[in-house]
Structures are given as structure tokens and as C-alpha cells.
């Protein structure tokens, strides 16, 4: 597995430290509320698990699966594979994402959660690829801004692999080049 990684972009230690900071900020911002974290499966699971440890106010966590990412390019089509199990009507929601690239996933999910009656929807993302953006949307809590490179690890996959790496790394191009040609 490690032989396919070109370099480590964000270390596990850095992710833990940044999660502590974001958790503290969310605890402050939502001091008089009870946020519902909506973690998007499967990529956000490690980050959501890390982040929630540092939120020291009452909160709940729910999961949704809306991914349609295939290979290394966004298809732009978003399927709801697993919907929420409960109502989020009048709730203060924080979507937890692994990475925002084009922003299409986030925009669609945000609109969907508002259409389900959420009072407010904010976004916490581990990684932000600002240069990949094609729709006008920004995350409210960002772990790390990263360059426009295909990354894996800490929940992020390439064809379902590499999610178990304890850091975020850049995948060697030869691993996916043949699929893009
Ligand atoms: P967007 O809709 O283009 O913003 O894509 C968001 C989703 O694409 C993320 O939740 C990831 O599943 C996937 N994605 C985007 N960039 C990468 C990457 O560099 N590595 C792995 N998955 C990625």
C-alpha cells in the first residue's frame, strides 16, 4: 500500500491538532445549541470520529451516503445511497466532509438538508481543494487547504482503497493514469 504513495501531505499529528482547534471552535460557536453532525460516508468517518472527540457540548451524529465519485474525476451526478434515519427539521446541522473539490457534492447536500427543514447548515471539511471549485460554495470550518492533487488516506480513497492510511498522502500518478487516458 505505502509503495503507491508519492508523499505525505498532512500527517496524523497535524490532523489531530487541527481537529482539536476546530472542535473547540464548534463548541464555542454552538454553545447554546445542539448541533447535529451529518457525516458523509464513507470518506469523512475518520475525521468525524476525530473531530467529535473535541466537541465538548451536547451534539448528535448522523450518516448519509451521497457519493458518486468514480476514479479521479467528479461525475457531477450525486446519488443518495443512504439517507438520514431521522428528521432534521429545525436542527442546526454541520455537514462533515472529507474533502471539497468541485463543491458539487456539498452544494447538493446542503440544499437537500435545507429542503428537509434544517434551520441552519454549516460545513466542516478536513481538506479543501480551492482550485478545483466549479460551484460557488465554501466550507465554514476547514482543516487544511491543499493543492489540486489527487490525495488518499484518512478516509479518502482511490477505487475504495487507501482509506485506512493514518495520514493524507498524494497518490503516485501511475496508479490512476491508465484510467484517465
Ligand atoms: P466534489 O463534489 O467535486 O466537491 O467532490 C467531493 C468528493 O469527491 C469527496 O467527498 C471525495 O469523495 C471525492 N474527492 C475529491 N477529491 C478527491 C481526492 O483528491 N481524493 C479522493 N477523493 C476525492
Please tell me the distance between residue 155's alpha carbon and the centre of ligand 1 in angstroms: 11
**All 3 cell numbers of residue 85?**
434515519
Q: Which pLDDT belongs to residue 71? A: 52
101 noted as active-site residue: yes
Instruction: Assign 110 a pLDDT band (cuts: 50, 70, 90).
Output: very high
Q: Which tens digit of pLDDT belongs to each residue from 162-174?
A: 999 999 999 998 8
Judge contact between 95 and 111, C-beta under 8 A: no
At 118 the three-state DSSP class reads coil
Residue 175 or residue 176, greater confidence: 175
At 61 the three-state DSSP class reads strand
Residues with CB under 6 A from ligand 1: 43, 67, 69, 74, 97-106, 150-152, 156
Q: Which pLDDT belongs to residue 56? A: 97
pTM, to two decimals: 0.93
Q: Which tens digit of pLDDT belongs to each residue from 80-108?
A: 899 999 999 999 999 999 999 999 889 98
Amino acid at each position: 500500500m505505502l509503495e503507491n504513495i508519492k508523499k505525505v501531505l498532512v500527517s496524523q499529528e497535524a490532523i489531530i491538532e487541527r481537529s482539536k482547534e476546530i472542535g473547540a471552535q464548534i463548541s464555542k460557536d454552538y454553545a447554546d445549541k445542539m448541533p447535529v453532525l451529518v457525516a458523509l460516508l464513507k470518506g469523512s468517518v475518520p475525521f468525524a470520529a476525530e473531530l467529535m472527540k473535541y466537541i465538548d457540548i451536547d451534539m448528535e451524529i448522523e450518516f448519509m451516503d451521497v457519493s458518486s465519485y468514480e476514479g479521479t474525476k467528479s461525475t457531477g451526478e450525486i446519488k443518495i445511497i443512504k439517507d438520514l434515519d431521522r428528521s432534521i427539521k429545525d436542527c442546526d446541522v454541520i455537514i462533515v466532509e472529507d474533502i471539497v473539490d468541485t463543491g458539487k457534492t456539498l452544494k447538493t447536500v446542503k440544499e437537500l438538508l435545507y429542503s428537509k427543514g434544517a434551520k441552519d447548515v454549516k460545513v466542516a471539511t478536513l481538506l479543501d481543494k480551492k482550485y478545483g471549485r466549479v460551484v460557488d460554495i465554501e466550507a465554514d470550518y476547514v482543516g487544511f487547504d491543499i493543492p489540486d492533487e489527487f490525495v488518499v488516506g484518512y478516509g479518502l480513497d482511490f477505487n475504495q482503497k487507501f482509506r485506512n492510511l493514518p495520514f493524507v498522502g498524494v497518490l503516485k500518478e501511475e496508479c490512476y493514469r491508465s484510467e484517465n487516458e
